[in-house]
Amino acid sequence: MDEKISRVDPKLLELLVCPLSKGRLSFDRDRNELVSERAKLAYPIRDGIPIMLVSEARRIET
């Protein structure tokens, strides 16, 4: 069984902030990303590890 979608520990999510805006992040389960609404960026999660680099983030539209 291929399990591409990983889980994010809620305690970890409480600690992590966007490196650009310092704002809160939300977990997008469908895309497996951490989303910063304030910065309009989505940070990928690879192999269960959030990649918190602005250069690796995807710009999001609202």
Burial 10-32 (b: 16+ CB within 10 A, else e): eeeeeebebeeeeeebebeeeeb
Quote the CA–CA distance of 49 and 51 in Å, as a whole number: 6
Please indicate, yes or no, if residue 46 is contained in any of the structural domains. Answer: yes
Please indicate, yes or no, if residue 4 is contained in any of the structural domains. Answer: no
DSSP secondary structure, 28-49, as one string: ETTTTEEEETTTTEEEEEETTE
Residue 19's pLDDT is: 97
Domain boundaries, position 25? 10-59
pLDDT band (50, 70, 90) for residue 9: confident
Domain CATH code at residue 32? 2.20.25.10
Please indicate, yes or no, if residue 31 is contained in any of the structural domains. Answer: yes
pLDDT band (50, 70, 90) for residue 3: very low
Closest CA to 41 of 22, 54, 27, 28: 54
Domain count, the chain: 1
